[in-house]
């Protein structure tokens, strides 16, 4: 009986994560579509363009965090009887589950996320924008893979 209650809690949390990823991905897609209308190869940007680009970067970083710190961590704890692995192992396990294209790709996405979180207006800021824009479709794929995996795991359609 206790196991059934615990199983329901896991299922509830899986559903929460799916909803979080779905909402966050929708917001990221909105920002991505707006940035597609901006020429990222020019030298100067309007304040409105910068705000749009920075919104994309912020949402990119947020969804990267949700994936690693919520979804991947939750799956590890669920599948390995409560064990919470360090981040490098968590990423390796995500690759084994086929949630991410490769550990290297996700580690790079995390590096981009860290740049957004810890660096401010520098000379390479525009290059950072371009890289985030370039890797956003990969992040969408990872979100889709993770949602699909969670749905199958918890038999939710």
Determine the pLDDT at residue 43. Answer: 80
- Element holding 7 (H helix, E strand): helix 2-35
**pTM (2 decimals)?**
0.90
* Category of 82 on φ-ψ map: left (φ > 0), alpha (ψ -120 to 50) or beta: left
What is the block-wise mean pLDDT of the chain (157 residues), using blocks of 10 residues?
60 95 98 95 88 94 97 95 93 98 97 84 74 97 98 81
Domains located in the chain, CATH noted:
2-153 (1.20.120)
The predicted structure's pLDDT at residue 157? 53
CB 110 within 8 A of CB 68: yes
Q: Which of 133, 155, 142 is nearest to 72 (CA)?
A: 142
Burial of 84 (0-12, 13-18, 19+ CB in 10 A): exposed
């Amino acid at each position: 009986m206790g196991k059934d209650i615990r199983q329901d809690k896991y299922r509830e949390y899986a559903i929460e994560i799916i909803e979080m990823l779905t909402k966050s991905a929708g917001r990221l897609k909105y920002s991505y579509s707006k940035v597609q209308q901006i020429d990222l190869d020019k030298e100067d940007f309007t304040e409105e363009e910068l705000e749009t680009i920075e919104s994309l970067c912020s949402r990119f970083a947020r969804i990267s965090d949700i994936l690693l710190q919520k979804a991947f961590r939750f799956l590890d704890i669920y599948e390995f009887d409560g064990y919470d692995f360090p981040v490098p192992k968590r990423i390796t396990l995500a690759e084994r589950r086929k949630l991410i294209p490769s550990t290297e790709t996700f580690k790079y996405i995390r590096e981009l996320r860290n740049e957004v979180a810890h660096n401010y207006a520098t000379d390479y800021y525009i290059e950072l924008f371009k890289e985030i824009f370039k890797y956003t479709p990969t992040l969408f794929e990872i979100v889709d893979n993770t949602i699909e995996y969670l749905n199958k795991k918890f038999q939710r359609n």
